[in-house]
Amino acid sequence: MIDLKTKKIIVTGGAGFLGKFVVNKLENAGCKNILVPKIEEYDLRNINAIRKMYKDFQADIVIHLAAVVGGIGANRENPGSFFYDNLIMGIQLMEEARLNNIEKFVALGTICAYPKFTPIPFKEENLWDGYPEETNAPYGLAKKMLLVQSQAYRTQYGFNSIFLLPVNLYGPGDNFNPKSSHVIPALIKKFYEAKKNDDKEVIVWGTGKATREFLYVEDCAEAIILATQNYDKSDPVNIGAGFEISIKDLAEKIKDIFKYNGRIIWDTSKPDGQPRRCLDTSKALNEFGFKAKTTFDIGLRKTIDWYIENVK
């Protein structure tokens, strides 16, 4: 087990939604030397900026959370930049980490890396059984290449890197921008505004039949810390809560919390995305003792409460 208190740690994306929770947990664990690189100083798409960062802050551990992400709409509009930015960041960060003798590199993948029609629950060994769902394949494949790099580098160089596959995250501080948000914040914003404006209907993308698994962001941060401390293999590990809910049931749940009395209109001209998502989370439990603690109903209410308190 790594004693993180004695380590110098870089958390890319540490000012972001998930990153803030990871940094907070590290600080609560007694970590004193944490660098959260800001894009103004270290644009991680630029190899010279990465080299400067590693020179300025001689880290022991890198936790790579930085990513260009978004929901179905953002993925459809920006497949090229989502592919390039995520791929170039990860590949160069890991290569320069190796050259700088970084002790451990923690790479975050994405559930979007799984094949479109993966048997439920998704098991790590299914990861290469087909092509990802088309709308987010460029993003998913860019992140998936970090697994290839991680395994190749361990084989050739003995480089210690791990690859985690988190499911869809949600929680306080999520991205509620309708142009780039994921489904939970997007629906919360829609129902909040419909209730406030007394709208008679809310339009939701797709058929509502697709299912998703959601992990509370603080639980994901806990999983990352546990894996950083205790896991030292390049085999991928799912990080999730081990349940699924249809988008229809999710919309109805949020509607009920807001006590909204209007109708839900399903815009079936818009895509559903991947038909089903639900992870087998047994490996995370067996390898480093992670099990999600926050029930979906509690996490959803905390997220909605945060949004109501912070909405502008």
Q: What is the pLDDT of residue 136?
A: 85
The model carries a pTM of: 0.93
Question: Is the domain defined by 4-172+213-242+278-294 classed in CATH 1.20.120.420?
Answer: no
pLDDT confidence tier of residue 51, bands split at 50, 70 and 90: very high
Domain segments of the chain: what residues? 4-172+213-242+278-294
Is the predicted pLDDT of residue 312 greater than 70, yes or no? no
Mean pLDDT of 93-115: 96
Whether 271 has a pLDDT exceeding 90, the answer reads no
DSSP string, the chain: ---GGG-EEEEETTTSHHHHHHHHHHHHTT--EEE---TTT--TTSHHHHHHHHHHS--SEEEE-------HHHHHH-HHHHHHHHHHHHHHHHHHHHHTT-SEEEEE--GGGSBTTPPSSB-GGGTTSSPBPGGGHHHHHHHHHHHHHHHHHHHHH---EEEEEE-EEE-TT----TTT--HHHHHHHHHHHHHHHT-SEEEEES-S--EE-EEEHHHHHHHHHHHHHH----S-EEES-S--EEHHHHHHHHHHHTT--SEEEEETTS---SS---B--HHHHHHH-----S-HHHHHHHHHHHHHHH--
Residue 180 pLDDT: 75
Average pLDDT of the chain to the nearest whole number: 94
| Active site residue ranges | 139
